[in-house]
Amino acid sequence: MNNKEVEDPSKKQAFTKSKNKINSNDENWSFCPVCGFRILKINKLKFCVKCGTNLKYLREHKELEPKNVQNPYIKQTSFTIPYILPRYYDPKKISDNNIIDTKNQELWGTMASISVPLGAFFLMNFITAGLLAAIAYFSFNIEFLFDLVTNPYFLIVSSFFEVIFIIVPVIYVEKFLQNPTLKNRLGLLGFTSNGLDKKGIFKEILIGLGFAVIGLLLVTSVSLLTEIILELFFGIEIVRDLSNTTTDVEMIILSADFLSIIFLSLIMILIIGTSEEILFRGFMQKGLMRSLGNKWGIIVSAFIFSMIHLLGIFLMFLDAPLVLLISFILSFIPYFAISMMLGLLYYWRNENLIANIIAHGVYNALAIILAYLVYYVF
Query: Could you please report the per-residue DSSP string of 268-315?
Result: IIIIIHHHHHIIIIIIIIHHHHHHH-HHHHHHHHHHHHHHHTTHHHHH
Report yes or no on 65 lying in a domain.
yes
Q: Are residues 64 and 123 in the same domain?
A: no
Higher pLDDT, 256 or 318: 256
Residue 4 above 50 pLDDT?
no
Pairwise CA distance, residues 369 & 264, whole Å? 9
Cα–Cα distance for residue pair 279/147, rounded to 1 Å: 30
Last residue of a domain, one of 26, 55, 79: 79
321 Cβ contact partners less than 8 Å away, ≥ 6 residues apart: none
CB 218 within 8 A of CB 226: no
Q: Is 316 within a domain?
A: yes
Model confidence at 88: pLDDT above 70: no
Look at residue 89 and tell me if it is in a domain: no
| Domains: count for the chain | 2
Range of the domain at 66: 1-79
Phi/psi for 63 (5° steps) reads -155, 160
More confident residue, 264 or 141: 264
Distance CA 299, CA 264 (A): 29
Domain end (from 28, 60, 79): 79
Higher-confidence residue of 46 and 369: namely 369
Amino acid making up residue 179:
N
pLDDT at residue 73 greater than cutoff 90: no
Pick the more confident residue, 292 or 92: 292
Strands (E), 214-297: none
Domain-located, residue 107: no
- Work out the average pLDDT over 202-217: 96
Tell whether 93 is covered by a domain.
no
Same domain, 145 and 211: yes
Residue 56 covered by a domain: yes
- If asked whether residues 126 and 256 sit together in one domain, one would say yes
How far apart, in whole angstroms, are the C-alpha atoms of residue 305 and residue 322? 23
Q: Is the confidence at residue 43, as pLDDT, over 70? A: no
Residues 68 and 121 in one domain: no
- What is the per-residue pLDDT for 204? 96
Name the nearest CA neighbour of 116 among 158, 165, 162: 165
230 shares its domain with 126: yes
CA–CA separation, 186 and 108 (whole Å): 15
87 falls within a domain: no
Say whether both 232 and 356 belong to one domain. Answer: yes
* pLDDT tens, residue by residue, 343-357: 999 999 999 999 999
